[in-house]
Amino acid sequence: MGDGLFEIRTMGTDIARGIWVYHKGNTIIMPRVFIKKSQKTPAKKIDLAKKRLAEVLNETGKL
């Protein structure tokens, strides 16, 4: 996905996806979870994940 972002999925009646990133060793931050309705992850979902990740890092002093 770029910028260190990865996607994880669950399977069931709806396919939930989470966008996540490794941060400082074993810490994982998952700034966005959504129900994916198409093959390609919409750019708006990725952009929102990046925005939320930046907010988390700024508010917590880079963890």
pLDDT at residue 63 tops 60: no
Q: Report angle CA 62, 29, 31 to the nearest 5 degrees.
A: 105
What is the per-residue pLDDT for 62? 63
**Which H or E run contains 50?**
helix 43-59
Q: Where in the sequence is the domain holding 48, given as residue range(s)?
A: 5-59
| Residue 61: per-residue pLDDT | 67
What is the C-alpha to C-alpha distance for residues 47 and 26, in angstroms, rounded to an integer?
24
pLDDT of 10 > 60? The answer is yes
> DSSP class of residue 10?
-
Mean pLDDT throughout 53-58?
85
User: How many domains is the chain built from?
Assistant: 1
Q: pLDDT, tens digit, for every residue of 11-48? A: 777 788 888 888 877 888 888 888 888 888 888 988 98
